[in-house]
Structure 1
Amino acid sequence: MDQVGLVRKVLNGEAEVEVRRISGCGENCKGCGGGCNVPSHVVILPNNINAEVGDFVEIQGETKNILKYTMIIYMIPFAFLIIGISLSMKILKNMSISSYEPLSFFIGLIFLAFGYLVVKFIDKKVGKKEENIIKMTRII
């Protein structure tokens, strides 16, 4: 995956880069009839190429790593939600609690929050690695 970004800030060896997201229709608004209001996304990357504010930079990342990281971000909380709802429904139903379904939903939300904490922990661990998922490769 290659994209171009604009460096907005440089601080302590890191650069804040604004990257324009790619729309689902390939930015051919005549073809899909949608508005294609595609917002920008801001990422903080190590400034290993000494980019300065206002520079356009090329950003590269391996698609495999990006997809793997995306699966982690979305699937872990979802799995925690499903596990929380399923387990609590089974336990509360066996305890003969009459309103076990809404209670199971709320317990599932608690599990979901815990899943986000797990993702945050994984994100910090991945962020400490020397090899990042995406990095700036050159100034354009």
Structure 2
Amino acid sequence: MIEYGTVKRIKKNNTARVIITRHEMCGDCKACELGTSKKTMSVDAKNDINAKVGDKVALEMEFANFMKASGVAYGFPLIGFLLGIFIGYAIAPMFHLNEVYSGFFGGLILMFCAYGIIHLMDRRGRFGKDKYEPVITNVIDPNNNLLLNKYAKSETSEDEQ
């Protein structure tokens, strides 16, 4: 998976903060920015080619690793939610509770528990950060690249606003 962005800051440990413009394929779900209306998002990427602040760059992440990360981020909480629904629905009669509410709240509880476990595992480095971190692969001149003309125009119009 390749994305294009602009280096905004050079950080320690050979990484750079890159601002990426969301493209049409992202649609309007805004999940990556938690519902904000911004058209850009920032990401930390390995900077092995020593890109400088202001450089237009190409970022890559292996598709298999992207899918694994998506599976962890969305699959585990979904499984937790569904499991919580079934458990809540099953134990509701034992405690004389409404099955629908019990299942729903059981699903929410296990879903948030799954997010908490993912967060703790991530902080402890269980997912191997290097595998899922994007890498700056190329510095690009948008004026000489026909494929990026649309990208360059959209970024300059956002900077003017």
Matching residue of 2:117? 118
Measured in 2, the distance between the counterparts of 1:62 and 1:2 equals 9
After superposition, the CA RMSD in angstroms is 2.5
**CA shift in 2, pair 1:43/1:127, >3 Å:** farther
Q: Is the 8 A contact 1:126 1:132 kept in 2?
A: no
Q: Is the 8 A contact 1:20 1:40 kept in 2?
A: yes
Q: Percent identity?
A: 28
Measured in 2, the distance between the counterparts of 1:51 and 1:108 equals 45
Measured in 2, the distance between the counterparts of 1:55 and 1:98 equals 60
Q: Is the 8 A contact 1:17 1:45 kept in 2?
A: yes
1:1-140 matches, cutoff 5 A: 1-13=1-13, 14-24=15-25, 39-93=39-93, 95-124=94-123, 125=125, 128-140=128-140
Q: Which moves more between the two structures, 74-83 or 113-122?
A: 113-122
**CA shift in 2, pair 1:91/1:123, >3 Å:** same
**CA shift in 2, pair 1:126/1:61, >3 Å:** farther
**CA shift in 2, pair 1:44/1:78, >3 Å:** same
What's the TM-score once normalised by structure 2's chain length? 0.68
Q: From the two aligned structures, give the one with the greater helix fraction.
A: 2
Measured in 1, the distance between the counterparts of 2:136 and 2:83 equals 39
Q: What SS is found at the alignment partner of 1:24?
A: helix
Q: What SS is found at the alignment partner of 1:138?
A: strand
Q: What SS is found at the alignment partner of 1:54?
A: coil
Q: Is the 8 A contact 2:89 2:99 kept in 1?
A: yes
Measured in 2, the distance between the counterparts of 1:25 and 1:118 equals 27
Q: Is the 8 A contact 1:20 1:38 kept in 2?
A: no
Structure 1 runs of 4+ with >4 Å offset: 126-129
**CA shift in 2, pair 1:4/1:96, >3 Å:** closer
Superimposed CA distance per residue, residues 89-140 of structure 1 (whole angstroms, 9 cap, x where no aligned partner): 10122x0514232133122211111111222244443664444442111222
Q: Give the aligned residue type for 1:9.
A: R
| Greater relative contact order (CA < 8 Å, ≥ 6 in sequence) | 1
Measured in 2, the distance between the counterparts of 1:100 and 1:89 equals 5
Measured in 2, the distance between the counterparts of 1:112 and 1:106 equals 10
Measured in 2, the distance between the counterparts of 1:92 and 1:70 equals 33
